[in-house]
Amino acid sequence: MNVEISDLTRRFGRTHAVAGVSLQAGAGVFGLLGPNGAGKTTLLRMMATVIPPSSGKLRLLGRDPGSYGPRREIRRRVGYLPQNLGYYPGFTVAEFVEYFALLKDMPSRQVPRAVAAAVEQVGLGDKARSRLRTLSGGMLRRAGIAQAIVNQPELLLLDEPTAGLDPEQRVTFRALLRDLGERATVIVSTHLVEDVGAACGEVALMDAGKIVFRGTPDELTARGEGSGAAGDAPLERGYSAVLATARSATAVRS
Amino acid sequence: MDDDELIAAMAGGDDAGLRELFSRHAPWLAARLRAVLPASEVEDVLQETFLAAWRGAGGYRPGGSGSAGGWVWGIARRQAALFLRRRGPAELLLPAMDAGGRHEADPAEAAVLRAELAEAVSALGPAGSPNREAWRLMYVEDRPVAEVAQLTGVPVGTVKSRAHRARKQLRAALRRREPAGDGGER
Amino acid sequence: MTGGQEMAGDHESLAGHGPGPGDVDLGRVWLGVAAEVWRRHPGPAERAAGRLLRSPGLARALVTAPSLLAGWLIATAAVLLAGLFATLGTGTPYVPLLAPAVAAAGIAYAYGPGIDPAWELSRSMAVSDRMVLLARALAVFGLNAALGLAAAAAGAAAVPTAAAVTFGWLVPMTAVCALALAAATLARSANVGVIVGVAGWAIVVLAGQSASGRLTAVITDTVLVLPYLAFAAVCAAIAWAATRIPRGTS
């Protein structure tokens, strides 16, 4: 198990961004769905060790990120793509990917080849020496994916990775995900439901800081049967049905 | 962009040009090298070839169609020579070199020549085919004509004409690969 | 490989073009070529820093600090040079008065967010952003101290009355830098750090002048050394706390 989470919470002031999440994940591709504000980004940030949890148990790659040494070791083996990735405009794509490869403690001998592989893998091979300020939004996103995969991470966390990618690029991106998911735990957070349906073996749906559904995409589709309009995509129907159930349950309780 | 423009772009530091050049030329270069080198060495030679092409792009002079291919093949030959030097003498190919009637003083060039000869030899036909077998027995194994006739079960005259044809074929194949000419047929 | 639009799902299968021999991995070959062509060759300063710090990543983060870039260093040197000429002209030791402010600005600009656009990503790195900040702050301080010493020494040689302040100003400089750093990390903004540091120093200098009549009072009064250092320590602690990553709860 690369990720073991038990009753994890994260508070900001009085708000519970994450209100008791339990999750276990081994190798494979996991989709994290949910509306904006559901807590997906906060959960990913905790898994990336960017912020600490307020309470609960978190174990990543068999280690406890609470202390410096294990946390550093975890970070060497993690790849993270935040939702808002700033970039250094004067850097080229290769320099950008190399910068983070070095910050992940990759041995400098291995870095050039790893950078080349990552850049080619995201299809930026003919832009490798172009400055980031000359790239489109979708290309920047792909550069971000490249830095996340450069160290061949065991845990890959992607927050809205397909923002700015056109449909054809999304197809090839899903193929990349499946590839990576064979050896690593890949967790993709997105609000584009159909985006991950094809690539993910398992899906979790978050709402208001809690996980309200965990299962395969087919199971999520099944939850949507009999509801929604005829033209709706099946996964979206399931998504809406689950959310509606979860929210009415909360309304009944309160 | 045609090849000359790609190389000019490379000389100006455009690595996308190198990428395109690679996708156009690496496959046939690999095939040609594969005839004389094992796969892993072909990969190493190809890598060094394109790095040398990148560094030396400024020295390329366009010269009509096919000249880029010839230029790249020239680089590949030099890189292959370095590798073949390490492999040591290849006895099988020496008689072919003599049959070709050329002698190179420079050992590196000779090594490459051996490679080209090996490729030309394989053009004689698959191992065991009449001309190639005759040539192999007579020139590689250096047997007398009578013995070859006996081993292959054909008259002496047939052996002689087969060997003669093989030598002619080799000479023709090697003439096509003159270093002063273009990159040869692909 | 003809366009940048597609993503190769498997980078090893780049050789989709042409009839290459089946057992030669052209994708692998291309990666070897690209690795060499695209690689960056670190300069001598970065290589030395990497060996010294035993971390090529930390060295790279160091040399990319905004206030260690050539433009910034040249500007710093220019300011100190201006101070030197002013000293030569008027006899007042401007360099020791200017150096702390310039250094404070440099320290504040060693910091991000505010400066580091990819700060969220930086917070997830094995080479932690705190280590980067520490290394950058020390390097900036050291460089500014060296530049300031050179300029002050030159000024002292030319105008002997200023000799007494050649080293004493390093202590207030430490305090001002610590103040700028604390302000920057607390406010999460390099600009705030610069403003607080420079303004703070200006206020102290002017207060010293109005109290004792001498502009250089705040540098030469040895009784101030301990308060300066204590203040610096407090600010450093604040900066440290502001950048801490609290322990998890498991």
pLDDT by residue (tens digit) across A36-68? Answer: 888 999 999 999 999 999 999 999 999 999 998
Q: What is the pLDDT of residue C161?
A: 61
CB C95 within 8 A of CB C84: yes
> Around Cβ C144, how many Cβ atoms within 10 Å?
26
Q: What is the pLDDT of residue C77?
A: 83
CB distance A139–C4 less than 8 Å?
yes
Neighboring chains of A (3 or more beta-carbon pairs < 8 A): B, C
Are both C165 and C210 inside the same structural domain?
yes
User: How far is A226 from A235, CA to CA, in rounded Å?
Assistant: 13
Q: How far is A167 from chain B (nearest CA, A)?
A: 25
Residue C23 is assigned to a structural domain of this protein: no
Q: What is the pLDDT of residue C26?
A: 92
> Around Cβ B112, how many Cβ atoms within 10 Å?
26
CB C173 within 8 A of CB C235: no
CB distance C24–B34 less than 8 Å?
yes
Are both C36 and C104 inside the same structural domain?
no
Please list every residue in chain A whose beta carbon sits closer than 8 Å to the beta carbon of residue B19: 125-126
CB distance A50–C246 less than 8 Å?
no
Q: What is the pLDDT of residue C73?
A: 82
Q: In the predicted model, is pLDDT for residue B118 greater than 80?
A: no
How many structural domains does chain C have? 2
Q: How far is A10 from chain C (nearest CA, A)?
A: 11
B residues 7-26 closer than 8 Å to C (CB): 15, 18-20, 22-24, 26
Task: Kindly indicate whether the ipTM for this predicted assembly is greater than 0.85, answering yes or no.
Answer: yes
pLDDT by residue (tens digit) across B43-53? Answer: 999 999 999 99
Enter the pTM of the model: 0.78
Q: Tell me the one-letter amino acid at A98.
A: E
Please list every residue in chain B whose beta carbon sits closer than 8 Å to the beta carbon of residue A126: 15-16, 19
CB distance A52–C38 less than 8 Å?
no
Domains in chain A: ranges and CATH? 1-77+155-254 (3.40.50.300), 79-152 (no CATH)
Among A70-84, A98-112, A138-152, B89-103, the minimum mean pLDDT is found in B89-103
Residue C210 is assigned to a structural domain of this protein: yes
C16-46 residues labelled b (16+ CB within 10 A) or e (exposed): eeeebbeebbbbbbbbbbbbbbbebebeeeb
Q: What is the pLDDT of residue B162?
A: 87
**Backbone φ and ψ of A8, nearest 5°:** -80, 135
Q: Tell me the one-letter amino acid at A60.
A: L
Are both C125 and C152 inside the same structural domain?
yes
User: How far is B172 from C30, CA to CA, in rounded Å?
Assistant: 34
B-C CB pairs within 8 A amount to 69
The domain spans of chain B are 3-88, 92-176
CATH of B3-88, one of 1.10.3720.10, 3.20.20.70, 1.10.1740.10, 1.20.120.640: 1.10.1740.10
B45-55 residues labelled b (16+ CB within 10 A) or e (exposed): bbbbbbbebbe
Sheet with A3-12, strands from edge to edge, namely A15-25, A3-12, A55-60
What Å distances lie between residue B26 and B14, B23, B46, CA to CA?
Answer: 18, 6, 7
A177 Cβ neighbours under 8 A, 6+ residues apart? A29, A186, A188, A199, A200
SS3 B48: helix
Residue owning tokens 């540098």: C219
Neighboring chains of B (3 or more beta-carbon pairs < 8 A): A, C
A131 DSSP assignment: B
Q: Which two tokens stand for residue B30?
A: 């690999």
Please list every residue in chain A whose beta carbon sits closer than 8 Å to the beta carbon of residue B21: none
CATH 1.10.10.10 correct for B92-176: yes
Q: Which of A67, A74, A102 to mutate to test the interface with C (most CBs of C within 10 A)?
A: A102
pLDDT-derived band at A124 (thresholds 50, 70, 90) equals very high
Q: Which residue of A has its CA nearest to B20?
A: A126
Mean pLDDT over the full length of chain B: 77
Q: What is the pLDDT of residue B104?
A: 47
pLDDT-derived band at B174 (thresholds 50, 70, 90) equals low
Q: What is the pLDDT of residue C59?
A: 92
Residue C12 is assigned to a structural domain of this protein: no
CB distance C124–A59 less than 8 Å?
no
pLDDT > 70 in chain A, percent: 98
- Does residue B19 sit at the A interface (CB-CB below 8 Å)? yes
CB distance B19–A126 less than 8 Å?
yes
Q: What is the pLDDT of residue B142?
A: 67
Q: Which two tokens stand for residue A182?
A: 């064979």
Please list every residue in chain C whose beta carbon sits closer than 8 Å to the beta carbon of residue A120: 8, 11, 14, 30-31, 34
pLDDT-derived band at B168 (thresholds 50, 70, 90) equals confident
Domain final position from C41, C64, C87: C64
Are both C52 and C170 inside the same structural domain?
no
Residue C249 is assigned to a structural domain of this protein: no
Facing C1 at nearest CB: one of B23, B46, B51: B23
Facing B47 at nearest CB: one of C19, C23, C32: C32
Please list every residue in chain B whose beta carbon sits closer than 8 Å to the beta carbon of residue A125: 19
- Does residue B139 sit at the C interface (CB-CB below 8 Å)? no
CB C46 within 8 A of CB C63: yes
- Segment A192-195 long-range contacts (CB within 8 Å, at least 24 positions apart): A192/A162, A193/A33, A193/A233, A193/A235, A193/A236, A193/A239, A194/A233, A194/A235, A194/A236, A195/A162, A195/A170
Are both C200 and C160 inside the same structural domain?
yes
- Does residue B16 sit at the A interface (CB-CB below 8 Å)? yes
Facing C38 at nearest CB: one of B15, B26, B28: B15
Q: Which residue of C has its CA nearest to A81?
A: C121
Q: Tell me the one-letter amino acid at A5.
A: I
Average pLDDT over residues B88-114: 52
CB A122 within 8 A of CB A93: no
Longest dimension (CA), chain C: 87
Are both C169 and C98 inside the same structural domain?
yes
A157-190 residues labelled b (16+ CB within 10 A) or e (exposed): bbbbbbbebeeebbebbbbbbbbbbeebbbbbbb
- Does residue B92 sit at the A interface (CB-CB below 8 Å)? no
Are both C126 and C51 inside the same structural domain?
no
A-B CB pairs within 8 A amount to 7
Q: What is the pLDDT of residue C7?
A: 43
CB distance B22–C19 less than 8 Å?
no
Please list every residue in chain A whose beta carbon sits closer than 8 Å to the beta carbon of residue B15: 126, 128-129
Q: In the predicted model, is pLDDT for residue A28 greater than 60?
A: yes
Are both C83 and C36 inside the same structural domain?
no
Q: What is the mean pLDDT of each successive set of 10 residues along chain C, which is 250 residues long?
A: 39 43 87 95 92 92 80 82 77 78 84 68 89 86 84 72 61 87 83 88 85 73 81 88 51
Q: What is the pLDDT of residue C6?
A: 40
Maximum average pLDDT range among A29-33, A246-250, B103-107, C172-176: A29-33
Question: How many residues in chain A?
Answer: 254
User: How far is A42 from A37, CA to CA, in rounded Å?
Assistant: 9
Kind plus residue range of the DSSP H or E element containing C104: helix C94-108
pLDDT-derived band at A70 (thresholds 50, 70, 90) equals very high
Higher-confidence position of B128 and C44: C44
Average pLDDT over residues A201-211: 91
Give the range of the structural domain holding residue C226, as residue numbers without chain letter: 68-242
Are both C90 and C174 inside the same structural domain?
yes
Nearest Cα residue to C97 out of C217, C6, C10, C2: C217
| Strands of chain C, DSSP E | none
Q: What is the pLDDT of residue B87?
A: 62
